[in-house]
Amino acid sequence: MARELRGVLVDPVDGARPGLLRIDDGRIAAVEPEVEDDRGLTAAPLSRLRPAAALRDELDAPLLFPGFVDLQIYHYERCVEQGVTGYLATIGTSARGVVESFLDQLAREPACLGAHVEGPFLNPEAAGAQAFEHIRPYDREELAGWLATGDVRLVTLAPEIEAGFEAIEQITDAGAVPALGHTATNYYTTRAAIDRGATFATHIWNAMSGFRARSPGAIGTLLSDERVTLGLIGDGRHLHPVTEELTFRAAGPTRIALTSDMVAPPQEQPDGKLRGGDRCGAALVQRMATRFGLQAAAEMASLTPARVLGLEDRGRLAVGLRADLAVLEADFTPRETIVAGESVWTAPEPPRP
């Protein structure tokens, strides 16, 4: 069914400007920006442009973003209401047989892009909130069974485990993405893992060996290598704002994929460790746009994570691409989520006086 949407078009490449977007047969049929009226929205942080309270009048709502793609999400149901149109259903370190059951029950819906298996081949010293008791050595046959389903798109492991490089190569050969995380390794092992095909960092900074003057560890190595995309939990709880700022300056939006690590419900462990995130989609984008600009936020939330999975049919507001859209009010309150041209969630109408 054909449809037209008008508002501020926020594209990761072309920037942000008012315009019109047409949808037809699940695809973007036309993008007609008002080029002469970009109002300086492309790159400047919103916090330096205007107070948040003035956004609605200044930006002429709604904001039309390409749908947000989340590569690490345990609880998708809440995130469809935040503009997430593509996600990897994530399962953490579990007992044997649990991953197989999880894959059997994977949602068969347009927004589900497959699965992210976080663990169990991790370093116990960097377990974080992962189930310590289920961390175990790399098992080639177990991993082969997961990969054979074709549903596993990303696997997080610590490269320093025994035969860790073999695991990375096995994941790569199966067409999935090896991700480095929950690791206490050094520069040399991290660099060797990247050379063998590890191209993603799971929640950079969290549960990783630190960055020192003469020992950059996993964090410094991942930040400096342009072959790696950095998953960053931008909820304001997992990282200090200065840490976010340094990561943005070092890697830029082309190498940062906003991830939620969303769990239900979020809990803080007795030892102070965080058990997943409590914000996703529009809530993360609002924080990033306020600090780094609309265009950068769109790139980190949509285009960059789509590229990690090799998805070329989404992540931008461009003719011919799949009509996955996050429609937000000017203050970033979600209004509608559209997947392949179909409205899958709409904000309830406010009660009449």
Residue 336 forms beta bridges with which residues? 327, 346
Same domain, 243 and 255: yes
> Where a domain ends, among 230, 259, 280?
280
pLDDT value, residue 54: 47
Q: How far apart are CA 292 and CA 294, in angstroms?
A: 7
Non-local CB neighbours of 158 within 8 Å, separated by 6+ positions: 121, 122, 123, 126, 164, 180, 181, 182, 183, 184, 185
Is residue 289 in some structural domain? no
Asked which of 224, 254, 280 is the last residue of a domain, the reply is 280
Average pLDDT, the chain: 92
pLDDT at 275: 77
Residue-wise pLDDT for 254-284, tens only, equals 999 999 999 877 556 666 677 788 899 999 9
Quick one: 53 and 83 in the same domain? Answer: no
Q: 184 lies in a domain?
A: yes
**DSSP H helical ranges for the chain:** 46-49, 55-59, 98-104, 140-148, 164-173, 187-195, 217-224, 241-251, 282-292, 294-298, 304-308
How many domains would you assign to the chain?
A: 2
- The reported pLDDT for the residue numbered 53 is 43
Report the CATH number at residue 18.
2.30.40.10
Where on the phi/psi map is residue 119: left (φ > 0), alpha (ψ -120 to 50), or beta?
A: left
Q: Helix/strand/coil (H, E, C) string of 253-300?
A: HHHEEEECCECCCCEECCCCCEECECCCCHHHHHHHHHHHCHHHHHHH
Which two structure tokens, joined as six digits, stand for 234? 């931008």
What pLDDT, on a 0 to 100 scale, did the predictor assign at position 51? 41
Same domain for 133 and 180, yes or no, is yes
pLDDT for the residue 264:
78
**By residue range, what is the domain housing residue 10?**
3-65+317-346
Q: Identify whether residues 211 and 181 lie together within a single domain.
A: yes
- For residues 27 and 170, state if they share a domain: no
Query: What's the Cα-to-Cα distance from 262 to each of 228, 237, 258, rounded to whole Å?
Result: 22, 12, 12
32 and 79 assigned to the same domain:
no
> Does 253 lie in the same domain as 177?
yes
Q: What is the pLDDT of residues 89-131, one digit of tens each?
A: 999 999 999 999 999 999 999 999 999 999 999 999 999 889 9
Residues 30 and 122 in one domain: no
- For residue 193, what pLDDT is reported? 98
Tell me, yes or no, whether 116 and 28 share the same domain: no
| Per-residue burial over 260-287, b = 16 or more CB atoms within 10 Å of its CB, e = otherwise | bbbbeebeeeeeeebbbbbbbbbbbbbb
User: Which CATH number goes with the domain that contains 83?
Assistant: 3.20.20.140
Q: What is the pLDDT of residues 335-345, one digit of tens each?
A: 999 999 999 99
What pLDDT score does 189 carry? 98
Q: Is residue 303 part of a domain?
A: no
In this prediction, residue 105 carries a pLDDT of 95
Instruction: Give the pLDDT score at 61.
Output: 67
Within this chain, do residues 110 and 175 fall inside the same structural domain, yes or no?
Answer: yes
Give the pLDDT means over successive 10-residue stretches in the chain (353 positions). 92 95 98 70 56 49 94 93 98 97 95 97 94 96 98 98 98 98 98 98 96 94 98 95 97 98 73 81 96 96 98 98 97 96 92 65
Q: What does the DSSP assignment read for 31-42? A: EEE-GGG-TT-S
